[in-house]
Amino acid sequence: MTDLRLDATQLERYSRHVIMDEVGPEGQRRLLEGSVLVVGAGGLGSPVIQYLAAAGVGRLGIVDDDVVERSNLQRQIVHGDDDVGRPKVESAADYVRALNPDVDVRAHETRVTSETIDDLVGGTDGERTDGYDVVVDASDNFATRYLCNDYCTLSGIALSHGAIYRFEGQVTTFPNDGDGPCYRCIFPEAPEPGTVPDCATTGVLGVLPGTVGCIQATEVVKYLLGAGELLEGRLLMYDAMGLSFETVDVRRNPDCPVCGDDPEIESIHDVGYEGSCTVSSD
């Protein structure tokens, strides 16, 4: 770890972290040296971006290829009315810069695909120094979820997964540093296209992604600090209508196609992510 000392302004900004035994100056330095790539600057990505920036995560990448629409503002709180029509990554990056000058925010106005993910995450070339410590999957489609999972699993990069639907959400964490499960251990294959409607069709409670995204941000901060117990091997499910949480234990599946004993997926190029997210036949 480099000798990164907290100056007077940082000591004031992060004082409520510094006085905690579980964080302290050393933990805050870990956050300032940490790097996180947030995939999606929408409902889930908004609170993740806000709280990671506030916590002082030193390098924060934001990936999204969409523009802000007025219908987003009911839940995507990193954007404002004046941002309608702007790229989401620009709006979100401006928010981060205004909130915390310690954060090196990098906006990537692109879509995460099998062709772009390595350049975005930077996890497969050991000589590269600009890779990210954690990827936060705040996406809204199965293709991106499976791609992020497969890439991070194969590269040994920690992954935070979150998803929402109407009044319900789920969160889990995959450190990818041992024998824990991956996303495919829980959900081996994506549903057939068109069988799961999106929020534009069914709606979503505006505050729901705030709760789920905050939990994702909490998990990322704990991971960077090396403190607490992560949701590894546990899927946390939240029901906003009943205001209830349920935790389901999940284990690594020895038959998992990406992290199992005899994996079928050895490269992200083995999979057709725009289809059913299954192993390619060719």
What residues act catalytically?
199
Q: Two tokens at 275? A: 């289809």
256-268 burial, b at 16+ Cβ within 10 Å, e below that, comes to bbbbbeebebeeb
Q: Are strands 134-137 and 168-174 parallel, antiparallel or unpaired?
A: unpaired
Which one, of 44, 5, 41, lies nearest residue 170 by Cα?
A: 44
61: left (phi over 0), alpha (psi -120 to 50) or beta: beta
| Rounded Cα distance, 6 and 14, in Å | 9
The identity of residue 144, as a single letter, is: T
254, 248 contact by CB (below 8 A): no
